[in-house]
Structure formats: structure tokens, C-alpha cells
A and B are shown apart, each in its own frame.
Chain A
Amino acid sequence: MGENDSSDFETWISNFCSLYGHDYYVEVGQDFIEDDFNLTGLSSIVPYYKEALDFILDLEPEHEIKIKDQALVQQSAEVLYGLIHARYIITKPGAQLMNEKYSKGQFGCCPRYACNGSKLLPIGINDTPGVETVRLFCPDCFDLYLPTSSRYLNIDGAFFGSTFPGFFIKMYGLDNPNLRPSDDLKIFGFKIHEGSNVGSRMKWLRATPSTDEELREFDEVD
């Protein structure tokens, strides 16, 4: 492929982010990737690190890549981009880009009825690539949910990282659990007794202190 016109040249990054199912990703700034400090430690995790980095930055490789290696380099580039992405979104410009997506509700709404459609944030429970796929975090009920669409079920959680939602809610002042308890299960309008074999066991998960005694208890748990 020869030279492209600079006007319709699509960078690897913007192409990657526009792929089907990749709409959780933001475009990492070129200057962030070019700063070696930001990439500390990644060279030991990602195979074909140098080639993959050139790939992401649309640079001509120093050495010709063998055809049999090309698929591997492409894969490495995706992992490397994901890991850089996880670091980028906990910087100020990265979080701002994520906020644009968040405020449009692009990560979906909390499926919990009592949360009344509060917006979700992507999270990786594990920071090592290849362990868990991406999950969604609700700042109101602080619980984790599976993405509703299967297209997100093969996105690695490590590409968002375990710190991102915590960092994000702190940065935007959303860091207050806003739990609304759900209704009790009833049979013909009657509550089911706790001692019954189907009695309620999970109320604690969505409970907030409300009575005076509970508030005192809450102050004392520290």
C-alpha cells in the first residue's frame, strides 16, 4: 500500500476504536503513548512489544515482519493498546473522554429496578490480561453486572482495569452509595417470614441505615 492522503488516512487507533463491539474504548492520545514513562513495565507483558507499538503508532516497522508473525503482532498490538488504555483512562484527559461516553450512557444503565437507570462504568476485576472479561459497575448500588450485549463479552477487563471506576467516581464526585432497597417478596400481599424456608436472606446487600439505632451502629463500625 502506498502513501495515503493525510486527509482520509485513518490511524490504527481510531480504526480499532470504531470496530464493532469496541465502543467502550476511547482513543488514547498519541503523545501519551509516545511518552515511554507511561509504558513502564508493559514490554515484559506483551510479546512482540516493539513491533506492536509501531503498529499502534502507524510507524513503518524497522525490520520486515514475517508473514507468519503478522497475526501475532496484530494480536499483541491489541493487548498492548488495551493495557495502555487502562492506564490512560485514569489520567485527566482519559477520564474526560470516558466522561463523554458515560454522560451519554454508552456503557448502559443499571439493570436493577430500584436503581432507576443509573449509568454504569466499565471495570476489570483483574488487572492481568486474559483473566476476566469486562464487567459493569453501578455507582449507586456499588455492584457489578454483566454487559447485556454479548458483543462485549469478549473484551478483556484488564483493558479498563480495577481502579478506573473508583478513580472516576472520585473525580466526578459520584462517590456516594445511593442505595434504594427493593420491595419484599409477598404472597397475596403478605410478607414471607424470615424463618420460612424461602424467607429473605439478602436484605443486607441493599440495606442502608435509617433508624436512630442503625445510624449509631453505622458510626461505630469504623
Chain B
Amino acid sequence: MAPEHHQFAQPQQDVDGDGDEYISDSGSDFNEQWIDWFLGIKGNEYFCDVDVDYILDKFNLTGLNTEVEKMSKVIDMITDGLDEEYEIGDKERDHLEANANKLYGLIHQRYIITTKGLNKMHLKYKNADFGYCYRVYCELQHLLPIGLSDHVGVSTVKLYCPKCEDIYNPKSSRHAQIDGAYFGTTFPGMFLQTFAAEVMPVHPVERYIPKIFGFNIHQYAKLARWQELQRNKQIKRLTESGINVANVMNGYNINPDGSPLKPPVVSSGSRSRMRSSRSDK
């Protein structure tokens, strides 16, 4: 995959033509190059940039040497420390490249549950880099990436909606090819716990029951009634243990008496309502 990436930045620096040579600076610019190149590939928008310091700390890579071949060369490649004198053929480069992707992904899985990584992912979440929930009643809730397994090659990346607590397939086929292990199973839970006060939504209780000329179809209506019974049981259980769920974060959009609130007209309305309910506490 694009073995000539090292040549990208070099000519550009000459183009601005102010005569200055970037010899002194190029060292530090060069350091981020492989990661920048990797993040710039179409389809890699879900990844955040991992600090080089984090990668260079061997402690953070514990156990990864069993997953990745030629570990030290690959680390050099990611951190752009690969000796330029060192001649490698296309075949070897492709091999290294594939391993570099894998290693970066696995480091990424660990990095995004550190404080720094979580903050970077928080920015991406606020930007809706992971897309919006497709469910109509979730009103364009921002999604979070999730892996179904922490091991490479088990399944591709999926998206988690904090509002309906369900898992969705990415819309773009490019994202549907990314390994889920590069994000891991722990990330969304960790993310929500860290930023609970900011990101936990109010869950909508509205749902759709298929109708014919306005009449509910029995099988669906019956199951829906049973599901609502389960919800009411949960509300009772939570209220009894002292947790308020009426229109607060990680509660439901219901009145204290349990009747559903009128759904907000615009999604921004629900957010401001959430904020005000938090300050009430």
C-alpha cells in the first residue's frame, strides 16, 4: 500500500520557495509522518492519532509481539525511525506495512482508553466523526466505534449508540472493513463512564408499532406491551433503589409520574433540557 508515502511531504516544503531549507526542522516533521499518512487514508477516519511517546514506551506494547511480526522494525516504521540506508524490497515493504497497520490498530485499542486517548476520541465524537444513529427516535444521536472482540480477525468495527444502546453496522463499506479489535470492546463503556456528565443522553421511550389503517398489528403490539412492562419494572426497581430516571441523563424522557414527555421538536432541544435537568440536581 502506497510505499512511496515518504516522498509526500518533502517536495511540498520546497514549493513555498522562500529559499529556506528545512533541514533542521525536517527531523521533527518527519516523526509524525507515518501516522499522518495512515490517518489520511480514506476509510481511516475513525482512528485518532496515537502519541509517539506512547508507542515508544515498551510497557504499553506488552504482549503485542505475539500478534505482530518483526515488531521492532514495525515500530521503527510507525515512528519513522526506519533507517533510510536500509534497503527493502516492495514485497518486504508491503509485509511491513500490513504489520504496521495491525500494530497501530492494536496500540490504538489500548491508547483510546487512556485519558489522552479518551479526550481525543471525545473531540471526534463531538464532531460526529463516527456518524449518527440511523434509528428515527434517536434523533441523530452521535455514535461510538466498538469492537465485538479484542482479537484481530474476529469481526469488523461496529457502531454503538448510547441512546438506544444498540449496535449498528457502519454506513460506508470502507469503514466496514476495519478490524473491530482496533477499537476494542471496552472503549464505549469507558468513554461513557469518563464523560458521563457530558454525553449520557436521555433515552427516548417512543417506539413504533406497525399499523394497518391506524390499527396496530397484534403480534407486534403484544410484544411491545410486554416490553413496556419490562421497562416499567426496571423504572420501579431503579426508583426503589433511589435512582431518579424521570427526564435526567441516563433516564427516560418521561414525567415523574411515568407518562411519556412530548418528544422534543428539534434534537438540540433535548440537549438543553438535559443540561438544565443536570443543574437541578
Chain A residues near B (Cβ < 8 Å): 111-114, 125, 135, 137, 139, 142-146, 148, 162-163, 165-167, 169-170, 175-177, 179, 182-183, 185-189, 192, 194-209, 214, 217-218, 221-222
Q: Are A201 and B135 in contact (CB under 8 A)?
A: no
**Is A144 a contact partner of B250 (Cβ separation < 8 A)?**
no
A113–B229 alpha-carbon span in the complex (Å)? 25
Q: What residues of chain A lie closer than 8 Å to B225, measured between beta carbons?
A: 221-222
- A73 vs B184: C-alpha distance in the bound complex, in angstroms? 56
Q: How many whole Å from A152's CB to the nearest CB in chain B?
A: 12
Interface of A is mostly: loop
What are 22 A-B interface contacts by the 8 Å CB criterion? A111-B134, A137-B210, A142-B210, A144-B136, A166-B211, A166-B212, A170-B212, A182-B166, A185-B160, A187-B186, A187-B193, A195-B243, A196-B193, A197-B196, A197-B200, A197-B249, A198-B193, A202-B164, A204-B227, A205-B164, A209-B226, A218-B226
* In contact, A186 and B185 (Cβ under 8 angstroms): yes
B171 within 8 A of A: yes
Query: What's the least CB distance linking A99 to chain B, in Å?
Result: 17
In the bound complex, residues from chain A placing their C-beta under 8 Å from that of B44 are: none
Q: Is the interface of B mostly helix, strand, loop or mixed?
A: mixed
A110 to chain B, nearest CB (A): 9
Chain A residue numbers with a CB within 8 Å of B135 are 143-146
Q: Taking the nearest CB of chain B, how far is it from the CB of A222, in angstroms?
A: 7
Render B198-229 as a binary contact track against A, CB cut-off 8 A, 1 for contact.
00100100011111111001011011111111
Q: Tell me whether B217 and A170 are in contact (CB under 8 A).
A: yes
What is the CA–CA distance of A200 and B235 in the complex, to the nearest angstrom? 12
Q: List CB contacts (< 8 Å) of B167-207 with chain A.
A: 167-169, 171, 185-186, 188-190, 192-193, 196, 200, 203, 207
